[in-house]
Amino acid sequence: MENIGTLEYALDKYSKIWSWKVTGERAVSMISRLVPEAWYGENVNEVIIPDSTESVKQIKLLMDRYPLEILSKSIWQRKIVKTYAPKPTLPPIKLKLKRAKTGEQFRGKLLNFQKEGLDFLLKSSGNALLADEMGLGKTVQTLSYAATEKQTFPLLVVAPLVTLKNWEREIEKFLKKKSRNGRILESESPSVTIIRTGKSHELPKTDIYIINYELLFKRNEDISKLGIRTIVCDEVHNLRSKTTQKYKAVKKLAALPSILYRIGLSGTPIYNRGSEIWPIIDIIKPGLLGNFKEFCEYFCYVNDKGKAIVLENKRASLRNELQKHVMLRRKKADVLKELKDKVRYKEVIAADTDYYLEELDKIWMKVETEQKDDTATEFSKSASYHRAIQSERQIAGIAKVPHVINFVKNIMEIEESVVVFCHHKVIHKLLHQSLQEFSPVSIIGGQSDTTRQDQIDKFQKGESKLMIAGIRAGNVGINLTRAKYVIFAELDWSPAIHRQAEDRLHRIGQKNTVFAYYLIGNGTLDDHVANILVDKSYEIDEIMDESKENYENKDKAELILAQIQDKIRSK
């Protein structure tokens, strides 16, 4: 690929500081978006960039896609080596867990690693974060604890709306009823009340209550009168912000004197930033990480947007602190030796590039108009960029729909069950209409949990061989092990979302290798988004699993914006 400009280490004429000088019209246009601290040099199409670790990262990010002619090769090489040298980390703390025996109330059989999970819950006195990878049975381990530990009932499960019915089914499957005189009733299950309305009224006396996060704030007063002893927060990453009503509602309930046990469940307890772990731990084991200010002062720095980011040299120590006192984290590769591999493919397919570029041109013209508006605030200008990104993703999806359909049909010809994930409702509708010959079942936002479960059951029983699911509606609380092929017709910005979706198939009960196909529209910017997603690690992964990520996701989002502008201008 031809160089788009030059890179030189030079003494800036005005500041008298050694800096990086980038020249070239395209290079200057793109780098000025990636490095806000840059300033224009003395010549046309020349920009000066401060010599900082962050700036070097941003320049490297650009050069991974578009080459620059390096005029100061030895200095650049030293900076790169220095910037990306791996840092020593503390060894993970190894827990000595035994295979605990379940109590009489438990119905069923645990795998060996699940028995160790039960042992962890028992040793942590029921105040724990169970952060096993998705598909390892965090629900059944929690229910085994409720059946084994004393005085766990009444129990409250707080979970996403779409998982309430699944919790009810799992309770019926794995728990036996215990009568008031302590006798185990083999053929009965504990009584369950699913709270479905926000209207205040007295709740019946039952063993287990299930409610979704959004209703909890409204029913807090009613629930506080029930003498709840155990609170289980499923998909506990829903509590990652301490300013939300649901966090405040759970925090208030967890502080009740009747509460003995607090359990959080999530394969992805941290979604975006490491500091999101603090509100979760504040509920499960208050004081372990200090108050939020103390936590930030020790573990974090504040970025330019005011967000607390865990320092790179503190991530290992934070992970060890969590593992030592409150968190159990196991990966499938470590505990399910019999589980087959998960294989990812980046498959490039054709797309209607004429339509795509025409619509892309409209998007960029609109963005430029909004950016030139002198009355616009910084917030509105930032929102303008986000709208541009979302619009680009949708037109990329539409441009490749006919070819996605052909790809799905080719897979279906070998009579294998297939799950197709997409993001936009318009894409979901187009796929559903065009693949009617396979009588597809669907998961999409807005469904009732009964309808959703009915669609899942039809797929798992083999009544339909094709599932079309919204990637954010169908990425939690469901089991799709009937299929071994998962196709991503569209890409989401968050790799965590993709992993959750893949793991609807790649979990206990899956007997085959799972093949995940990421369909990349040729001639669109899908390829750059795919590079963010496939095998990408976060700051959060370094905390959870010792993995390492060179760039934060926002940096690559900014690069894509720069590429949109470059693509339009070079047409």
- For the chain, state the CA radius of gyration: 26
Strand-pairing partners, residue 327, are 129
Percent of the chain with pLDDT over 90: 46
Range with lowest mean pLDDT among 374-383, 511-520, 533-542: 533-542
Residue 279 structure tokens: 């509100």
Q: Which amino acid type is present at position 498? A: H
Greater pLDDT, 495 or 135: 135
Query: Is the per-residue pLDDT at 506 higher than 60?
Result: yes
- CB environment 57-83: b (16+ within 10 A), e (fewer): bbbbbbbebbebebebeeebeebeeee
CB atoms within 10 A of CB 287: 9
Q: What is the pLDDT of residues 427-473, one digit of tens each?
A: 999 999 999 999 999 999 888 878 888 999 999 999 999 999 999 88
Query: Is the per-residue pLDDT at 557 higher than 60?
Result: no
- CA-wise closest residue to 62 among 563, 492, 535: 563
Q: For residues 389 and 385, give the distance between their C-alpha atoms in angstroms, rounded to a whole number.
A: 6
Q: For residues 478 and 410, give the distance between their C-alpha atoms in angstroms, rounded to a whole number.
A: 26
CB atoms within 10 A of CB 272: 18
* Cβ-Cβ contacts under 8 Å for 191 (sequence gap 6 or more): 177, 206, 207, 208
Range with lowest mean pLDDT among 119-128, 294-303, 455-464, 475-484: 475-484
Query: pTM for this structure?
Result: 0.66
Residue 478 confidence (pLDDT): 82
Range with lowest mean pLDDT among 212-216, 446-450, 535-539: 535-539
Q: For residues 493 and 471, give the distance between their C-alpha atoms in angstroms, rounded to a whole number.
A: 11
Domain covering 112-335, topology? Rossmann fold (3.40.50)
Query: Is the per-residue pLDDT at 179 higher than 70?
Result: yes
Helix H or strand E encompassing 416? none
- CA-wise closest residue to 425 among 514, 490, 368: 490
Domain ranges of the chain: 6-84, 112-335, 342-536
* Per-residue confidence band for 528, with pLDDT thresholds at 50, 70 and 90: low
Residue 393 confidence (pLDDT): 81
Residue 141 confidence (pLDDT): 97
Largest CA distance in the chain: 88
Q: What is the DSSP letter of 106?
A: B
Q: Looking up tokens 């959870």, which residue turns up?
A: 544
CATH placement of domain 342-536: 3.40.50.300
Residue 452 confidence (pLDDT): 87
Q: Looking up tokens 């496939």, which residue turns up?
A: 534
Greater pLDDT, 508 or 422: 422
Greater pLDDT, 525 or 514: 514
Residue 377 confidence (pLDDT): 77
CB atoms within 10 A of CB 562: 19
Residue 135 confidence (pLDDT): 82
Mean pLDDT confidence for 306-316 = 86
* Cα dihedral value 439, 443, 448, 452, nearest 10: 70
